[in-house]
Structure formats: C-alpha cells, structure tokens
Amino acid sequence: MLRLRTAKKVFEFSSCRHLKEICRSEVVGKEFRRTKVLTVDTMNPHVKNIEYAVRGPIVIRAGEIEKELKQGVKKNFTEVIRANIGDCHATGQKPLTFLRQVIAMCVYPKLMKDPSFPDDAKQRADRILGSCGGRSLGSYSDSAGVPIIREDVAAYITQRDGIQADPMNIFLSGGASEAIRNIMKLLMTTLPGKDRAGVMIPIPQYPLYTATIAEFNAQPIGYYLNEADKWSLSVEELRRAVTEAKGYCKPRAICIINPGNPTGQVLTRQNIEDVIKFAKEENLFIMADEVYQHNVYAEDSKFHSFKKVLTELGPPYSEMELASFMSTSKGYMGECGFRGGYVEVINMDPTVKAMLTKAISAKLCSAVTGQAAMDVVVNPPRPGEPSYALFKEQKDTVLGQLSEKGRMTTEMFNSIPGIFCNPVQGAMYAFPNIDIPKKAVEEAKAKGLAADAFYCYSLLEETGICVVPGSGFGQKEGTWHFRTTILPPVEKIADMLNRFGDFHVKFLNKYS
Amino acid sequence: MLRLRTAKKVFEFSSCRHLKEICRSEVVGKEFRRTKVLTVDTMNPHVKNIEYAVRGPIVIRAGEIEKELKQGVKKNFTEVIRANIGDCHATGQKPLTFLRQVIAMCVYPKLMKDPSFPDDAKQRADRILGSCGGRSLGSYSDSAGVPIIREDVAAYITQRDGIQADPMNIFLSGGASEAIRNIMKLLMTTLPGKDRAGVMIPIPQYPLYTATIAEFNAQPIGYYLNEADKWSLSVEELRRAVTEAKGYCKPRAICIINPGNPTGQVLTRQNIEDVIKFAKEENLFIMADEVYQHNVYAEDSKFHSFKKVLTELGPPYSEMELASFMSTSKGYMGECGFRGGYVEVINMDPTVKAMLTKAISAKLCSAVTGQAAMDVVVNPPRPGEPSYALFKEQKDTVLGQLSEKGRMTTEMFNSIPGIFCNPVQGAMYAFPNIDIPKKAVEEAKAKGLAADAFYCYSLLEETGICVVPGSGFGQKEGTWHFRTTILPPVEKIADMLNRFGDFHVKFLNKYS
C-alpha cells in the first residue's frame, strides 16, 4: 500500500496537489506546529494509520489527469478509464427504472397520481411512506430502520435461505461499510498488547477492513487466499494464521468476503462449512460480507449464505454468532450513492444487541432514501406485476454483461505474457498477478513506491487506465497484482484491455 | 441520565421489552457468557458507556404505549405526543415543495420533461446531476461530497458572512452528527489518564456530544450555562471548568451549540467574541454546532457565525482552527431522514485535512440524496424565479409557527406553579426547570431513577406526552428539568400544554 511515509518521494513522481500539500506542510511544519491545535504530531495516531487504497493517491492523480485533459493537455489518450472502484452508474450502468420510480414517489408523493407511474411501484411507495413518521422520507426512522423495511429484509432472507429471519435482527445502515464498522466496534477489547482484539481478514482483502481495524487500534490477522487454486480458502491456512496471532493478540472474529473482493472467487458450500467449524473451534464471531450475493457468474458456482450453512449444520454451529452484511451498491442495482445497507445479526446476546441499538442511536438513523432503495432490492416486482418484465430485462442485462465482461477480462489478461488471472467467478473485480522485472522493482524502490504501485502509476500516466495496486489489498510477499473492476461498458473494456496489453509489453521491454 | 446500571429497577416500573431483555440476560447471563463471543462483559467497554437520552428507554416506552393504544388498551389519552426529538415532518411539518421537486428529478430524471415541474427546479436538478458520475445520484461522490454542492455550500457561507469560503474546506456528511464525530475523532489523543483528550461541552448539552466522547474514551469537560440569565455563557465559568479539568485531562477543544440545544438560547456577538478569546488563551480547537442558524425567533436576537466573528476579530484570532457544522434536518426544511449535513473547517493544518479526507474515504461518501437536499438548502429559489413565491411562503409559515409555538410554550410553562422556563430565543426546544417535591425525589430514588426521569415516566403514562428528562442533557446538581420540542402543530401544542398543567398540579398534590 502506498504509505504516507513515502508521500515525499511520490511528490517527484506525480504532480498530485494533495501530496504536494502534505509535503509542503511537512517542510514548513514546525511553524504550523507552534500555532495549531491539530497537527500531524498531535492528531489521533490511529487515524494516521488508516490506509484506503481504493481512494488513495493514485486515484487522486487520476482526477488531476482528467482536469489536465479538460484543459487541453495532450496525452496518448482522451479519457481516464476509472476501473479503480465498483461505482456502477459512474461507469455507465443505468439505474433500475422500478427502483427509481418508487423512490421518486416516496420523495414527491404527488407523483402517486401520475398515470405514467405503474401501480406496483405506487403500492411499494405507499407502503414505505405508511411506515415513515408523518408519511415523509424526511422523518427520522427508528435507529435500526423503518419497521416495514426491516420486515421486508427479513422476508427476503427467509425466502433466500428457507430459514425464518427475524426483523428485530435487521439493522439498516449507510451502505454495508457502516454496518461492518458498527459490528467491529462491538468486538474491540480496547486493551493494549496481547489483549488487543484480533480480527481475521483475507489477504487480499477489501481495504475497508484494514482501515477500520487501524482506526480501532486492533490487530489484523491476515489469512492468505490460495491464488494457485482460484483464490480458495483453506482451513490449514486459517489455523496457521490464528496460531501465530495468539502470540500477540486476542483473536475475536473472522471476516469472510463471499463472493470475494478483490479476488472474485465464490466459496463452495464445503468451504463455508469448514470455515464455520474452524470459527467454532476458535470461538470466533463470524462477519460474513455477502454484498455480492447477486453477483455469481461461473456456471459451477452458487451463492450459499453463511446463515443457511451454519443453521443447516445444526447445534452447536447453529447457535454461533454471525453478522451478515448486504448493500444496495452492488448486485444488479449498483445504487452506491444511496448508501443503503443492512446487517442481519443472529444469535447475538440480547444485552449486546441492546448496546448495538444504543450505539447506533447517537447517529439517529441511516438515510431513509437509502433504506427505501434497500426495500426495493429485497422486494422487487414479482411475476404478474406490471413492472416485472422491464425489471427482469434490466436485471438480466446487467448481470449478463457483467458475466461476459468477467470472462473477457480473464481471457484477455491471460493472453498477455507475464500476467496470470484467475476466473471472475463472482463480484465485480479481477485481481491479476503481474510479473514485474527486477529493474522496475528497483526503480520503484528508489522512488519509495511498491513495485505494483509504480506499475499502476505508469499505466495511468501512459494509458489513462486507473486500477489499484495489489499492495493496497495485501498479497503474498514478492508477488504483485492490481485490482480492476469489470464495470466499464463492453466496448470500452475491450479497448482498455488492448491498451493494457500494449502498455504491458512496452513496460516489460523497458525494464528487462 | 437513566443509566443502564439502574435498568433492573426500571424493570418493575415499566414494561419496556428492551429493558426486560437486558434484565433477563443479566439473570441468565452466566450461561450466555459461557457460549457467546460477545457478551456485556467482553464487548467494547466504551460502547457500553454511551448514553443517548433522546432515544433512551423512555422513548422506547412511548413506542410500546403506542402499540398498546393500537391494540385497544384504554388510557386517559388517545395518542402519544412525541415531543422528545426534533423530528419535524413526523410531527406534522410539510416538506418544502421546491426541495422535493429537485430531489425527485435527480432520482428520476425523466421528470425533467414533466411540464408540471418548474424550470428553476429543473435547472437545479440538472446542475446537481451534471456533477454526479454518469449523471446518477446512484454513483459514489468524492469522499467530501459532490463538487458542485461543495461550491454551492461555500457560496452560501460567503454570502451569509461576507467572507470568502473555500469549497475545499467543505466536507459533506450524513447529517451534522457524522461530521461532528469525524472532527472529534481527529482530536483524540488515545492516551490514558491525564493525557486523555478533554472536550469542553455545555451543560446542558445535546447528548450526541457525551455519547461520542464516551465512545472515544475521552473526557467531557462540562461548563454550565447560566439558567438565571437566559442560559447565557460566561467566560468565568469556562475558566473554572478548564482549570479544574487540567488536573485530570488535556483540554483540546470547546464545543458551542448556538442556537442552543436543549436550551434554545442565542449567543450575543459579545459572548462569541469572549468564547473565541478564551479558546485562544487555552489553545482550544473550536467546534461550533450551528445547525439551528435559521431558527432565531427572539426580536433582539440574531445569529452570528463563529467564523464571521473570529475572522472580524483579526489576527491572531482569525488564524484559529474552527469547525462549523450545519444540517438539512433543522431550520425550516426539517429534512431529518435525508441525513444531509456538512462541516466547514477553517485554518486546519493541510496535513490534518488530508488525514480527514483519508479517514472519511473508507466510508466512501455520505448519501448523495442528502447532499442534494443540502444543495437546495444553500441554494434556494431566488426572487424572480418561478418557485420563489411558494418557497418563501412555506419557509415563512414554518418559521413563523415555530416562533409562535416557542412563545406559547414559554408562557404556558411559566403559568404553571413550580415550573420556570427561559424564553425560546432560537432552535426548537424549551428546557423548563421543575420543582420536584422531596417525597417524589425519594420515590424516584427507590426506583433507581433520577427524579426528572421519574417525573417524565409518570407524565408519559398519564398523559401520553413524551419529553426527555433533563438528566439526559446534564444540569446543575439538585435542579430538575425536561426538554420538550416546540414542533407539534399549534392546536396540538395547546392541548399538550393544558394536559401538562393538569398533570403537574396532580403530581405536586400527590407528593407534597
């Protein structure tokens, strides 16, 4: 990961204004520090330790290049392709008509009388408003969410798993991120040294996890996914990781991302059973990040929820504590900006659940618009309803294209010498492995950069393609990767992959 | 404040299901604790310390009474009046037409072609979408917010204060609460004992502050507002508080709520100057909670922003660090559910500002719908635009009624023997002082309740009026208060105040 310690060296390499600001303040810092209450030396040190590559310096540089292009600066390319973040609509995906109709009517109820809006959308909007104070989206909801929406989420889970879900276990949140932070917060021991809370996370991982763990001053316990076997998860590796960790922290939880981010793998049912049994042995709280549950493309893959597997395993597994996270931002809807999400907690101690409610109460509630979007996600048009045909067409198109783009991406990367890419079984990303010549590794080192960060900066400057270095997600020592989304439109992704191949060959030639 | 320690005793008093759950889990707790990873003994102790009266047990009890009424249980009243929370639309205020039209078009852009939507609303919606990725509210924004909206906020502040504001200093957030937490987080030292960060807060205060300080394991430094002088703020009292605090923590910041919550006072310009000079002397970061800046009713009161006063004082004051918070939830719009808010930071060390950006990046962005609502708040219809007349009428009606209800409330409370209430100069609350007879104080004590919590529980059970005990906000030892909003509609507020008077007289008779 590009650490801020290395920012001064990046300065020479990039013209990023933010980094310049950082460097300047370090140069003249002594003067600042005499007069400011808050300086880099006196601010919360845990916040300093946060790193978040998906929006790190390389992405800031991409924004600057976009501005340069607008100002007419000549480059080898005419636009930046932002493949750094799973931001579906920003890369061309169209919103679901039904979802937007429901929200628009909730926002402006006069539209309920507009004959161009279908009846099923009107019914949904009316039902949501009926559960809002004063029939307004502008009222606070209960801290855990609008009652009807919690019920609809529970009904969705019940149908998905064939196992009864309780609305009282559903807590709506500002995207899944907020829910993950809320649950992780409960797990903190706040003790130092060997008593620090340890949280098991996959390597590679989605950087929200390391960022949150850093902020809470806890201990990440990385377990490696097996790249040689389609990023699968082995219990032997979990054992190795937890055994080592017990020497320096108190392991309390295990996070699993399924389907995987950034790796795109989909866990088998057997794999999930193994993880659950391991967590039981080690007395770990399970955090299942299942935000990509609708994004499964590989024909031999299927989404199995941790809740279903755990419940079907029977006692004592079915009594284990589990938090499962979901979002409106991914799937086929891609409504990132609405910040809708939820966590279902099962088998949580009632006192702890009351404490969770209390802790989120101080933030009042998550955006009710995001909650309403979540309601549509869990309660979409059904066969026979007027909006069903269009909804199904839009959903199938998005998922079909994602599947196709995942296949294209894998094939194209694997056709480039020195790049190896596992199949995109699910989610929205590929995480290819790149050979970086020794000479390039050394040049990167001299610039204070990880070799894959150097590679990605070069890629961005020469082709306008913005991807995130593997070092931002974690990877086996000595291996190099990057994460790319599979979101750009088909024609753009083909162009991107071509440009990528040309760049890679030139890069290899330059440094071998 | 009703502490959880006292929950077991409340159990006898109330039938609250949440509290029952808590008690039951304490009784059978030993068994839970053998099998659960997360129990009240092993969870994050700082989360346990959070208290948030505005949504505390008394409000949970109000929800239960509502259910009982629905089930046909006979009571002395037919509905609960929720005067516990500043939830404008839930208590009958109507949304601003213009704001909702703009958001509806942003959500469902097809409406831009609907001739029933006015042109100025269309222009606003088009402008917001033009600054969103893929012209969709469903895209993530920059972590600090949609660029155009940051510009509009800066323009609003520039016009308000006559002092240039920089869009790069504006950070949009999920309500003001999130922004307050983000800034406070930076101020934490994370050190124990005497090195703990101390944060000065008014007593009484809005419980978000104590909740956040508890969660961050910091030290609240209470300074008392002067009830005998319309809840004014004296520098002598600030000095007393900070001097005492230096013995046990490191004072780093001062929070000021102006107009005041729960006290409804509006600070004079002289008062603000004094606070700024005090903060300079003590080298404190100023956090100015100015979410009620549109809510000033008293004829001799005026809102002065801390930024304007500090800037006009000139050096060295104009170089001080300040964070000013604003929200879509209050004012005349009352769009609480949209979770729109922002902080303007001024004179913040650029490195610290980069760290703030990084820290909020891990949460991606605040709800873009809330950001769009904020845009309308800072960029409302102007004279000459088609929506101006209706907008002005709606705004003036809400503010006029709030002013009238503030006056009614004060007068009515002051007409009841044993209640004293300062004028509601601003904000949305009254915080009357109540004499509670010794016998009632003792009965409360026996039940494990603060005397004003006992009073408010009795009020709720007998009249259906839900207000929050003063102990949830803090008050001088030996005094008792409650906070009521002035939000219910005029006719309901008149009825509420009548019922209140009857209850109070009966209560006095019963316990004297």
**pLDDT 10s per residue in chain B (512 long)?**
333 333 333 333 333 344 344 334 443 444 443 479 888 888 888 888 877 776 778 888 998 999 999 999 999 999 999 999 889 999 999 999 999 999 999 999 999 999 999 999 999 999 999 999 999 999 999 999 999 999 999 999 999 999 999 999 999 999 999 999 999 999 998 888 899 999 999 999 998 999 999 999 999 999 999 999 999 999 999 999 999 999 999 999 999 999 999 999 999 999 999 999 999 999 999 999 999 999 999 899 999 999 999 999 999 999 999 999 999 999 999 999 999 999 999 999 999 999 999 888 888 899 999 999 999 999 999 999 999 999 999 999 999 999 999 999 999 999 998 899 999 999 999 999 999 999 999 999 999 999 999 999 999 999 999 999 998 899 989 999 999 999 998 888 888 888 999 999 999 999 98
The dihedrals phi and psi of B85, each to the nearest 5 degrees, come to -140, 145
Are B37 and A108 within 8 A, CB to CB? no
Query: ∠A55-A56-A61 over CA atoms, to 5°?
Result: 100
What is residue B384's three-state secondary structure?
coil
| Residue pair B109/B124 in contact by the 8 Å Cβ criterion | no
What pLDDT, on a 0 to 100 scale, did the predictor assign at position A185?
A: 94
- Select the residue of A92, A207, A369 nearest B369 (Cβ to Cβ): A369
What pLDDT, on a 0 to 100 scale, did the predictor assign at position B57?
A: 82
Min Cα separation B300/chain A (Å): 31
User: Cα–Cα distance between A63 and A20 in angstroms, integer?
Assistant: 15
Please name the residue that has the structure tokens 């009703």: B2
Q: Which of these, B402, B381, B401, B376, lies nearest to B391 by C-alpha position? A: B381
What residues of A are in contact with residue B252 (Cβ under 8 Å)? 37
What residues of B are in contact with residue A1 (Cβ under 8 Å)? none
Q: Which two tokens stand for residue B242?
A: 């900070």
Are A336 and B39 within 8 A, CB to CB? no
Chosen from B40, B352, B394 to mutate, greatest number of chain A CBs within 10 A: B352
Min Cα separation A162/chain B (Å): 25
Supply the pTM of this predicted model: 0.91
Are B107 and A103 within 8 A, CB to CB? yes
Q: Which two tokens stand for residue B83?
A: 């005067």
Min Cα separation A68/chain B (Å): 17
Min Cα separation A154/chain B (Å): 20
Are A185 and B44 within 8 A, CB to CB? yes
| Residue pair A288/A202 in contact by the 8 Å Cβ criterion | no
What residues of A are in contact with residue B354 (Cβ under 8 Å)? 18, 21-22
Question: Which residues in chain A come in under a pLDDT of 70?
Answer: 1-34, 54
- Host H or E run for residue B128: helix B119-130
Please name the residue of chain A whose CA is at the shortest distance from the CA of residue B145: A337
Min Cα separation A281/chain B (Å): 12
Are A338 and B36 within 8 A, CB to CB? no
User: Cα–Cα distance between B351 and B158 in angstroms, integer?
Assistant: 24
Min Cα separation A433/chain B (Å): 25
What residues of A are in contact with residue B150 (Cβ under 8 Å)? none
User: Cα–Cα distance between B221 and B199 in angstroms, integer?
Assistant: 6
What residues of B are in contact with residue A192 (Cβ under 8 Å)? none
Please name the residue of chain B whose CA is at the shortest distance from the CA of residue A33: B349
The dihedrals phi and psi of B468, each to the nearest 5 degrees, come to -110, 130
Size of interface A-B (CB pairs under 8 A): 323
Chosen from A17, A37, A343 to mutate, greatest number of chain B CBs within 10 A: A37
